[in-house]
Amino acid sequence: MTRAAAIFVLALSPVCSALAAQTQGAAFFKAVRDPVKISRNSEPLKIARNSTIPAKGLKISVPAGELLGVAFSNGVSVVAVGPAEFSVDALTQDAPPSVCAPGGRESHPSKMAVSVLSGKLVFSASDRLERSEFSIKLPAGAVAEARARAVIAEVAPEGARLAPIGGTARIKAGGEIWDVVKDENFAYVAVSASGKAAKPVFERVYSSERRRFSELIKSAEILRGSTFFKLGKDGKFSAETVMPKTFFSMPARR
């Protein structure tokens, strides 16, 4: 980039920020196998191949033996290992005019909230989402806010675990005090018989667990890096992927 071009881009940045508008984010599904159930407001949805649909309100159930990947327009992707269930509570993002983002890749500040109801999920977030908000709701009122390259979330009847990889997160359970979860540390939140969440307990992500999750993290990152979103003049997102095969929507390997 020439010096003149750089000066022009810097001068244009405040204008782009001022013109940025909030838009509802989208979810992209390369392929969804029949056993996977997706609904919105309790109404089942039939997801065709290569579908891009509004993300807010989606509830996704992945049965045992299945693996599902979903890419979102704010640069976050998730791989869910069945049996797992989660919902997208909110996804809004800034959508400045195309002149402000000549690359066309959606990477503008966003606010995303998901609820992990059960199972194992691995999230991958773009490095360009540092100004965005990404919250993960866990059972019994526990909630985490993540700023990491990847986030592992596991929910079982007895409690939940959450670990940031390549960054940090903060978590609170039941109260208003936030605890910091360091890079490659699990925060474990137990659920008592009364249904209340206990104070988080922290433990290191051991090498065996890191190996166990490494392929899932890699899959989530490939999905995120290979899915490209475009916001049309009608305010709706479309997407395409350069992935050679739908490995993220296949039966889980045993």
Domains of the chain, residue spans: 21-249
Give yes or no for residue 127 having a pLDDT over 60.
Answer: yes
Pick from 20-24, 44-48, 214-218, 223-227: least confident = 20-24
| CATH number of 21-249, picked from 3.40.50.720, 1.20.120.10, 2.60.120.1440, 2.60.40.1180 | 2.60.120.1440
Average pLDDT, the chain: 83
Give yes or no for residue 14 having a pLDDT over 90.
Answer: no
Burial class of residue 75 (count of CB atoms within 10 Å of its CB; 0-12, 13-18, 19+): buried
pTM: 0.82
Per-residue pLDDT band for 227 (boundaries 50, 70, 90) equals: very high
* Phi–psi pair at 17, nearest 5 degrees: -65, -40
* Cα 41 → chain centroid: 20
Give yes or no for residue 119 having a pLDDT over 60.
Answer: yes
Which is nearest to 90 in space by CA: 58, 123, 56, 60?
Answer: 56
pLDDT > 70 in the chain, percent: 80
Does residue 110 or residue 105 have the better pLDDT? 110
The owner of tokens 């993960």 is: 136
Per-residue pLDDT band for 128 (boundaries 50, 70, 90) equals: low
Q: Tell me: the pLDDT tens digits for 17-56?
A: 444 577 899 999 988 998 999 999 999 999 999 999 999 9
Report the pLDDT averaged over residues 79-101.
Answer: 81
E-state strands within 34-129: 37-40, 43-44, 51-54, 58-62, 67-72, 76-94, 110-125
**C-beta separation of 224 from 124 below 8 A:** yes
Give yes or no for residue 103 having a pLDDT over 80.
Answer: no
Which is nearest to 151 in space by CA: 172, 137, 141?
Answer: 137
- Please report the DSSP string for 120-159 in residue order: EEEEEE-GGGTTSEEEEE-GGGEEEEEEEEEEEEEEETTE
Per-residue pLDDT band for 97 (boundaries 50, 70, 90) equals: very low
Q: Tell me: the pLDDT tens digits for 169-196?
A: 999 987 778 999 999 999 999 887 776 7
Helix H segments across the chain? 3-19, 207-226
Provide the pLDDT for residue 174: 74
In angstroms and rounded to an integer, the radius of gyration of the C-alpha atoms of the chain is: 19
Provide the pLDDT for residue 244: 58
**C-beta separation of 122 from 161 below 8 A:** no
Q: Which residues contact 167 (CB under 8 A, 6 or more apart)?
A: 146, 147, 148, 149, 183
Provide the pLDDT for residue 245: 55
